[in-house]
Amino acid sequence: MNIPFRLNIFKQIELYQELQEVEQQSNSQLHSVVKEGLDEGFIKNPPTWFFEKKILHWAYKKHKHLASPLRILRLTFGEASYDYIHESTIYKIADDFKEMLPVVKENQKDMHYTQQEADTTQIRKVFGNLVVKGFAKFFKEKENNYWNINQENCDGIFLTPKGLDYARMINKLYEFRDAKGDYKKIRGVSEVLEIKTSQRYLFGLYICISWLIIIGSIVLFFLTLINSFMSLITALCSLIPLQALHNFPPTPRF
């Protein structure tokens, strides 16, 4: 039988808080752009965290071989690389499209995103953000020098150990819900990953218990320190009379 929490609970709390910071930053960008009414600019360059979460969630749950890359062409043909287009014949592109289209459709269903959503948020920007955050690294076919690979010419990404940790937490904390409010401003978005209410309360409880443990440890430390100091003072005070009597001349008798 499994215990209801992981033993490295402090690491879990740290990941939870970091995820919430990213979440708040993304929502702040979302609200500020919508509030200003910059719909056109927003559509051209929307926040991508809502899509990044979907990729990490899917990668942990459905990506069977983590040692293999997550390729752009498995998500959309709208972001095919420049090299792919210019080095391939029209027949090869047509064959690849015919072969990969069912895979793209299946992945879209599994990740809960639409083709319009993928085109609007631009998969390359999503991949680039995952790399900058340390969740992934770029991959390019037949290229061994990582410094020659970038957001514009990559063929996909590999998840890093950090990305896998976050993916595991996202899979645990979040669930898919209908897009509402500001997310409707992003074309094609029908579902978003939002934190489960039960997990929010659970980690709120974990954080409160952690603070109690930290404060209790500090109080206990200072009480121990004060008790040791008082014991030392008492010991010194108990030695003073004996030393004074030892050195004091005897009282003369009459």
Across 90-99, 194-203, 216-225, least confident range: 90-99
Q: What is the pLDDT of residue 249?
A: 59
What is the percent of the chain where pLDDT is above 70?
76
CA distance 45 to 39: 10
Cα torsion through 131, 136, 140, 146, rounded to 10: 70
Of residues 81 and 186, more confidently modeled: 186
CA distance 77 to 46: 20
Judge whether residue 175 has pLDDT over 90.
yes
Q: What is the pLDDT of residues 127-141, one digit of tens each?
A: 999 999 999 999 888
Question: What value does the mean pLDDT of the chain take?
Answer: 80
Q: Coil, helix or strand for 192?
A: strand
Domain ranges of the chain: 9-195, 211-247
CA distance 180 to 29: 16
Phi, psi of 222, deg, nearest 5 = -70, -35
